[in-house]
Structure 1
Amino acid sequence: MRIRHALGAALLALGLAAGPAAADSSPSPGASDGSGGAPTQAGTSFRTATEIRQGQQATASGSTGDYLYWSFPADTGQRPTVKASVKLPQSHGSETWQLDVYDGLRRRQSCQYGASTRTAEPGTSSVELACVMRTVRGWSEPWANDPLPGTYYVRLTVVDLGAGDLGQPVNAEVRVDSKDIGGAAAVDGSLGKPLVPGIAVTSASQDDGSRHAVLSSFGSKDGWSSGWWSDRWVWTVIGGVLAALAGVGGYALTRGSGRPRNL
């Protein structure tokens, strides 16, 4: 009977632990289903970087030698993958293109894997670049360069080409997707605020036709997911419940089948 009650309590605890996990599986502020109008131009600096959502296919036209900038949000537990494709003119020499990713503090982020620098030989119609970032952490030491939740910048440019190819028209495509790593990358800590720039990265038109800076639109109404909760707590509860069941089972096996006889 006691074992039956213990099993019932264990199942109830598992149900309570799984409840928050299901609620926490809602899309993060950086997620997007790709719907809506995707950007068709890129910025020329960090301050004018064009905002894109994860899952959007952004495009831009430019010239070789230009610096093209986009920005996107990434939250705790996400591992972003940035991909870029550059369509080159029919006639060109050897060109080397590079894809760089920076965080909200403009620190260059390293890639776990992916070809972020590639050389297009003469006659090549396009060049494909990719950068799989490290998993975004909820907290980090001040001296570390770990990716933290907030705004990230993508810079696409050519780093080596002949003088005769400078200024030729090119078309670029950029897309950012993320894999949710979850509690495997959870840490005991969180940022007070995500690394989102306070200075605007977009601009808006006033009634008189002039344009003025506005705050970044990356803010989430529901808040960022950085905090104490992660699905790591589910496995912690499951481990505790299994340990309790093992203790109850061990006691039931060792206590004996009845009272000792009086001699």
Structure 2
Amino acid sequence: MATRLPTRVAPEYTARIRGLSRNFGDRTVLDRLDLDIERGEFVALLGRSGSGKSTLLRALAGLDRDTTGELAVDGTVAVAFQEPRLLPWKRVIDNVALGLPPGGRERARDALQEVGLTARAGAWPLTLSGGEAQRASLARALVREPGLLLLDEPFSALDALTRITMHRLVLDLWDHHARDTSVLLVTHDVDEALLLADRVLVLGEGRIAHESRIEAERPRRITDLTALRDRLLGELGVEEGTR
């Protein structure tokens, strides 16, 4: 099991990983991986299917204890998954307040207001649209005031217009929290990574195979980042004629 050492994170970092490995049988998914996430940084993690992106995220969240190496996180970790994972027998506000101490419903109401779901606080999850369900999932993560917010492809099942709305929402929330929260977004979408992140990582053969920093101010246009987009697609093995 990876040793979790939160006291060893330097003040400028939210997370630090050294030599993280994870095997599934005879297959190595993470191979002595090193990674730092700066405080308040927005990082996007790309990789081919099966490259270990979600495995790394689960390790950071403390959901995979079968890793080896050192993993240090400063502060609370919260996760929003691809599937909202709302409990259908609890109303939206109770899903958001799940696990909070007594009195947590007021914090849950504040979080729902942040994501624009105040009017749906008393709704049942099955009555929500896909975008509303993801907003509720995001509120449930934010209500814990995390130092590290992990997003595991939370927008992949949404239609194009709803994804744009969610992108704007995530960036607005990040700004609203004074960028005290570091974000790690796992995605298959190169354009999504370019539009949102300060730094884009490509995971390959169990390690960080490539990283690029994005200095362009937000909001961004993909047409202004064509060269970097092509570089990242190349790192992912996408042939030039199919981009």
Q: What band does the TM-score fall into relative to the shorter chain? A: under 0.3
Instruction: Kindly name which structure, 1 or 2, has the bigger radius of gyration based on alpha carbons.
Output: 1
TM-score by length of 2: 0.23
Flag the structure with higher helix content: 2
Task: Give the TM-score of the pair, scaled to structure 1.
Answer: 0.22
